[in-house]
Amino acid sequence: MSTDAIIETHELTKLYNGQVAVENLTFNVNAGEIFGFLGPNGAGKTTTLLMLLGLTEPSSGTARVLGLDPSREPIKVKSMIGYLQENMGFYSDLNARQMLQFVAELNAVPADIIDERISTALHLVGLEEEMQKKIGAYSRGMRQRLGIAELLIKDSKVAFLDEPTLGLDPDATNRMTELIQSLCRDKKMTILLSSHMLHQVQKICHRIGIMIKGRMVAQGDMDQLAQEKFGVGKEKYTLEELYMKYFQEA
């Protein structure tokens, strides 16, 4: 394993009532990269994210996030990771500013810089004009951008994005994609992105891991994956073709 790995897992396994959700998962994510986490629904992607966050105990195996064990030191780990969950919930009777204030206080952001940080975050995600509106009136795209603003408030070094573009219209998807790229570029965040949008993953992810039925069946960059499967470079194949190939074999 490389020395600058932000996330490392070794033989990570999770059973739910005897059923395998994640099996012997070993992978690593390096500092500053966007790692695309692919797989069909129910493949164990979210479970893996929850284990890395310390919200779920692994049945066996180890995980290290920024050198810490999430099940031993969940508070430290959670203070460094921003988690944008699938079907993100918000308190619909708060406005964006109040919501971010709440998150900032939970993360013990010093009181004197909260206001400034909220304004910067809202500016970056383009919600400045809507910040007085109640979140209940937000569109899906706006909610997802508010979710990104929460990560900025936490000033997290690592972000787990679970299906960030699910159900967004093309314009909102593009906006989200650009936002994710800018997080990596400008904020030097390491991003673990789980998604079904193969086209989009191919565009922004540096490396990819494919997870099927609880197992990581492949990991590496596009070139490596294509070489491994078809013996030729990535220019010949789209991620979709690769993914389908793996999926059929599994």
Partner 1 sequence: MRGIQTIIKKELADHFSSYRFTIIFALVAMLSLITAYMVGMNIRDELAGIAKPQFIFLMLFTSSGALFSLVQFVAFFGPLVGLVLGFDTINRERSQGTLSKLLSQPIYRDVVINGKFLAGVVMISVMMVSIVLVITGLGLIVLGIVPGLEEIWRIMIYLIISIIYISFWLGVAILFSILFRSTATSALAALAVWIFFSFFISLGASVLANALTAEPAGDNPQVHMRRANIVKAFILTSPMELYREATATIIDPTRKSTPRSMVTVGPLETLSMSRFAGPLPLSQSFFIVAPYIISLLAITVVCFAISYIVFMRQEIRSM
Please report, as ranges, the residues that interact with partner 1 according to CB under 8 A.
16, 46-47, 50, 53, 55-56, 75-76, 78-79, 81, 83, 85, 87-93, 102-103, 105-108
- Kindly tell me which of 50 and 122 has the beta carbon lying closer to partner 1: 50
- Kindly tell me which of 2 and 72 has the beta carbon lying closer to partner 1: 72
Minimum gap (Å) between residue 61 Cβ and partner 1: 17
- Kindly tell me which of 76 and 196 has the beta carbon lying closer to partner 1: 76
Polymer length of the chain:
250
- Kindly tell me which of 87 and 248 has the beta carbon lying closer to partner 1: 87
Instruction: Please give the Cα distance from 118 to 150 (Å, whole number).
Output: 9
- Kindly tell me which of 109 and 198 has the beta carbon lying closer to partner 1: 109
Instruction: Please give the Cα distance from 213 to 102 (Å, whole number).
Output: 37
Minimum gap (Å) between residue 172 Cβ and partner 1: 19
CB 61 within 8 A of CB 9: yes
Beta bridge pairs of residue 133: none
- Kindly tell me which of 88 and 166 has the beta carbon lying closer to partner 1: 88
- Kindly tell me which of 2 and 19 has the beta carbon lying closer to partner 1: 19
Spatial CA neighbour of 95 closest among 130, 67, 122, 56: 130
Minimum gap (Å) between residue 161 Cβ and partner 1: 13
Minimum gap (Å) between residue 221 Cβ and partner 1: 29
Minimum gap (Å) between residue 167 Cβ and partner 1: 14
Minimum gap (Å) between residue 64 Cβ and partner 1: 18
Instruction: Please give the Cα distance from 150 to 82 (Å, whole number).
Output: 8
Cα distances from 167 to residues 75, 171, 196, in angstroms, run 31, 12, 11
Spatial CA neighbour of 143 closest among 197, 196, 89, 82: 89
DSSP designation for 160: E
Cα distances from 100 to residues 68, 77, 142, 167, in angstroms, run 27, 20, 14, 23
The helix or strand, by DSSP H or E, that contains position 79, with its residue range, turns out to be helix 74-80
Give the CA angle between residues 195, 242, 176 to the nearest 5°.
Answer: 25
Minimum gap (Å) between residue 213 Cβ and partner 1: 17
